[in-house]
Amino acid sequence: MKVRLVLRRAAYSLVLAATLVTCLEAAGPAQGLDKQSQPAPATNTPGSEEHQPAISLSPAVISVKAKPGQSFSQELTLWNNTLQELEFQMEARDVVVRDGKRVFLPAGEIEGGIARYAVFMDRDVIALPGSSVTTTVTVTVPNAPAARAIACIFMGKTIMGTRNSVAMTGSLGALFTFTLADDFHVQSQPLQVSVDADANSITFRQGFTNVGTDPVVPKGVIAVTGENGRLVARLPVSGQRLLPGETQEFTAEHSGLPKTGRYHATVLMENESAFFSNAAEFSIK
Partner 1 sequence: MQAFGGALPSGATKSVGTTNWTISTPFDVKVTCSNLLTLLPCTLLLTPTYSLTAELQTANAIDTWKIGGVTLNSTSASTLTSNGTYGAVTAYTFALTIPFSESSGTISNQINLLSVCN
Catalog residues that contact partner 1 under the rule CB under 8 A. 1-12, 14, 16, 18, 20-22, 24, 38-44, 60-61, 93, 95, 101-106, 151, 153, 155-156, 159, 164, 166-175, 217, 219, 238-241
**For partner 1, which is the closer residue by CB, 159 or 257?**
159
**For partner 1, which is the closer residue by CB, 30 or 40?**
40
Taking the complex as a whole, how short is the minimal distance between the CB of residue 206 and partner 1, in angstroms?
Answer: 15
Quick check: 242 and 153 in contact, CB under 8 A? no
**For partner 1, which is the closer residue by CB, 8 or 262?**
8
- Long-range Cβ pairs for the range 156-159 (8 Å, 24+): 156/86, 156/87, 156/88, 157/86, 157/87, 157/88, 157/89, 157/124, 158/84, 158/85, 158/86, 158/87
Distance CA 64, CA 59 (A): 13
DSSP one-letter code for 119? E
Nearest Cα to 54, choosing from 73, 40, 63, 41? 41
Taking the complex as a whole, how short is the minimal distance between the CB of residue 207 and partner 1, in angstroms?
Answer: 13
Taking the complex as a whole, how short is the minimal distance between the CB of residue 146 and partner 1, in angstroms?
Answer: 18
Quick check: 192 and 205 in contact, CB under 8 A? yes
**For partner 1, which is the closer residue by CB, 9 or 259?**
9
Taking the complex as a whole, how short is the minimal distance between the CB of residue 143 and partner 1, in angstroms?
Answer: 26
Distance CA 220, CA 122 (A): 41
Taking the complex as a whole, how short is the minimal distance between the CB of residue 23 and partner 1, in angstroms?
Answer: 8
Quick check: 150 and 95 in contact, CB under 8 A? yes
Taking the complex as a whole, how short is the minimal distance between the CB of residue 157 and partner 1, in angstroms?
Answer: 9
Taking the complex as a whole, how short is the minimal distance between the CB of residue 95 and partner 1, in angstroms?
Answer: 8
Nearest Cα to 48, choosing from 77, 88, 19, 75? 19
User: How many Cβ atoms from other residues are within 10 Å of residue 168's Cβ?
Assistant: 13
CB-side exposure of 55: number of CA atoms within 13 Å?
Answer: 30
Rounded to 5°, the CA angle 64-109-91 comes to: 60
Taking the complex as a whole, how short is the minimal distance between the CB of residue 102 and partner 1, in angstroms?
Answer: 6
**For partner 1, which is the closer residue by CB, 175 or 263?**
175
Please state whether the peptide bond connecting residue 59 to the residue before it is cis, i.e. omega within 30 degrees of 0. yes
Distance CA 127, CA 51 (A): 18
